Amino acid sequence: MKAFKTRIKLKELKTIIDIPNDFISPEVEIIILSDSTVRKSSFIKRERKELGGILHKYADYSLIKNEKDNAWSKIIEDKHGLL
């Protein structure tokens, strides 16, 4: 565990964080301790978005009638002369 210690004027510290009014000394000491325990990172579960919604603006509705089981092979044959 590592530590950092410094002194600061109470007036300056009050501008940074909320300090109770019962502290009356003109200077205070701040001690910062590092946490040596290893913790699992917390994952934020995000909702998975569908690509159909994202790619919707690129859709060519005139080609939907051609989308059948053989659509992929037809495009390969037309474009590249394969199959």
pLDDT tens figures, 20-52: 888 889 999 999 988 777 767 666 666 666 666
- Is residue 43 one of the residues assigned to a domain? no
- Is residue 56 one of the residues assigned to a domain? yes
Query: Token pair for residue 40?
Result: 């699992």
> Which residues have a Cβ under 8 Å from the Cβ of 32 and sit 6 or more positions away?
3, 4, 5
Number of domains into which the chain is organized? 2
Determine what percent of the chain falls in helix, strand and coil, rounding each to the nearest 5: 35, 15, 45
- Is residue 72 one of the residues assigned to a domain? yes
- Is residue 44 one of the residues assigned to a domain? no
pLDDT at 59 (0 to 100): 78
- Is residue 23 one of the residues assigned to a domain? yes
Which structural domain, as residue segments, surrounds residue 56? 52-80
- Is residue 42 one of the residues assigned to a domain? no
Longest dimension (CA), the chain: 87
Asked whether residue 7 carries a pLDDT value surpassing 90, the answer given is yes
- Is residue 21 one of the residues assigned to a domain? yes
pLDDT at 74 (0 to 100): 75
Q: pTM higher than 0.85, yes or no?
A: no
Asked whether residue 77 carries a pLDDT value surpassing 90, the answer given is no
pLDDT at 41 (0 to 100): 67
